Amino acid sequence: MKKRCSLITTFLLLLTCFLINAQDFEKNNDKWSKGWTNFTPNKTDYPKAEEKLPNIIASTTYLRNDIVYYMTGDVYVINNAFLTIQEGTIIRCDHENPASLIVTRGAKLIAAGSKAYPIIFTSNKASKSRNSGDWGGIVILGSGKVNTVSGNNIIKENFNPQFSVYGGDKHDEETTIISHVRIEFPGSTMKRKEGSNGLSLYGLGSRSIVENIMVSYSGQDSYSIQGGANNIRNLISLKSNESDYHIAEGFTGDLNSILAVRHPYIASPKGSYAIEVSGYNNDAGYRPDTVTDVTITNATLVNLSDKSNYQHTSAAIHSTNSAVTYINNSKISGFSDVVKFDKSYTSLPTIQKAFMMDNSFFNIHNDGVKVAHQFIKKDALSILKYNRFTKSFVTVNDLFNDPQSNVAPKFQLKQSLNTYMVMQ
């Protein structure tokens, strides 16, 4: 009898804590995203480019905001050079010879925009004619920890081999400072089927600053974070063709206050997820005690689906190769399931150790958890307990305040969070 009373007391305490936290959860602060973002970049008229960037930057270089720059082909920052970009600078990026900025290991990109004057990388096409994947993207190579057997790796596709190595033993490196930056229409597949993501961070050092970034209409992933250790915050991914956040190669750290806005008709045949997290790289091997381990807090992951098109959606999160993920204080809506696990998760205890989600909300149209091994399926839903959910699928416009605004979409729930059911 005492044991039963103790269990009931424990459950009531957990539920009370959940209800208290739920009140805080409804007050998620999105002020950080106002003033510098642009949810209709195809309608924006940017000035024409005036000065072409060289394809090799081998010495300290400063880009001024009174000049509009033109970037074409691969632009490498090498030889431990610093590339500093003044707030408010605009860089127009070639679509015919798709531009990419590659900051090599030892070099540094300092792109510190401001709320009033963000730094903008965008297509060189005229307004209303820009498309996903017009140009390549930004690639930053660091000397931070990578969980490959060798401790380093080479970026895929046809980048210059001598400038393609990342990873090392400088785990506390200040690899980059990048803040209040918009990256619009990157992710070209013309030159590279992989690797041309909006922002790619390889071997990121823990002293780096990565915050207040918006990637819009990427033809590949919006963000690719491979290895390293850092606490990254205030990221937006708008209507990416592939995954919004791809995290792999032993990255450890936090992603705090992130937004992913997807559309059911914008997706890749390879699979597109709001978050794709992989424990290690299949091709490079790994050290078993260093799998990817990420904590995601204050995430809003939304697919703008309704009852006429929700069948085109996938899971919000795809977890592969034994990755470890913790989601808290977050909203997931419009997807088929919350999470999908690959065959590396061979039992329910394995999944329970690798994935946890609490004090969060989800609105989906399928079971909630997809597994590769069907004998796990019956009990897999238990990993979502102590989260709130809709009893049946709710269309995006009925669930949120103003989710499709072209100025500043709002993803506050129309009803109080406490009116929804609790998974037990």
Instruction: Give the per-residue pLDDT at 126.
Output: 97
- Span 320-332, average pLDDT: 97
Which residues make Cβ contacts (< 8 Å) with residue 392, sequence separation at least 6?
A: none
Judged against a pLDDT cut of 90, whether residue 67 lies above it is answered with yes
- State the pLDDT confidence band at 269, using cuts at 50, 70 and 90: confident
Alpha carbon distance 354, 190 (integer Å): 37
Q: Residues 338, 316: contact at Cβ < 8 Å?
A: yes
Query: Backbone phi, then psi, for 398, in 5-degree steps?
Result: -85, -20
Determine how many CB atoms are found less than 10 A away from the CB of residue 402: 13
Judged against a pLDDT cut of 90, whether residue 24 lies above it is answered with no
Judged against a pLDDT cut of 50, whether residue 5 lies above it is answered with no
- State the pLDDT confidence band at 26, using cuts at 50, 70 and 90: low
Instruction: Give the per-residue pLDDT at 53.
Output: 98
Q: Residues 130, 123: contact at Cβ < 8 Å?
A: yes
Answering whether pTM is above 0.85, one says yes
Strand pairing of 369-370 and 388-389?
unpaired
Instruction: Give the per-residue pLDDT at 424.
Output: 75
| pLDDT tens, position by position, 181-205 | 999 999 999 988 888 999 999 999 9
- Span 357-372, average pLDDT: 96
Comparing CA positions, the residue from 208, 98, 196 lying closest to residue 143 is 208
Please give the sequence-ordered ranges of beta strands (E in DSSP) within 292-393, or none if there are none: 293-303, 317-320, 324-328, 331-335, 339-341, 355-358, 361-364, 369-370, 388-389
- Span 309-337, average pLDDT: 96
Instruction: Give the per-residue pLDDT at 7.
Output: 42
Angle at 234 between CA 386 and CA 20, to 5 degrees: 30
Instruction: Give the per-residue pLDDT at 195.
Output: 80
Instruction: Give the per-residue pLDDT at 13.
Output: 47
Instruction: Give the per-residue pLDDT at 267.
Output: 86
- Span 237-266, average pLDDT: 96
| pLDDT tens, position by position, 212-249 | 999 999 999 999 999 999 999 999 999 999 999 999 99
* Type of residue found at 421: M
The residue with greater pLDDT, 337 or 29, is 337
**394-401 — which CB contacts under 8 Å span 24+ positions?**
394/333, 394/363, 395/305, 395/306, 395/307, 396/302, 396/303, 396/304, 396/305, 396/306, 396/333, 396/334, 397/306, 399/333, 399/363, 400/302, 400/333
Task: Report the chain's mean pLDDT, rounded to a whole number.
Answer: 92
Instruction: Give the per-residue pLDDT at 2.
Output: 40
- State the pLDDT confidence band at 1, using cuts at 50, 70 and 90: very low
Burial degree of 194 (CB within 10 A; 0-12, 13-18, 19+): middle
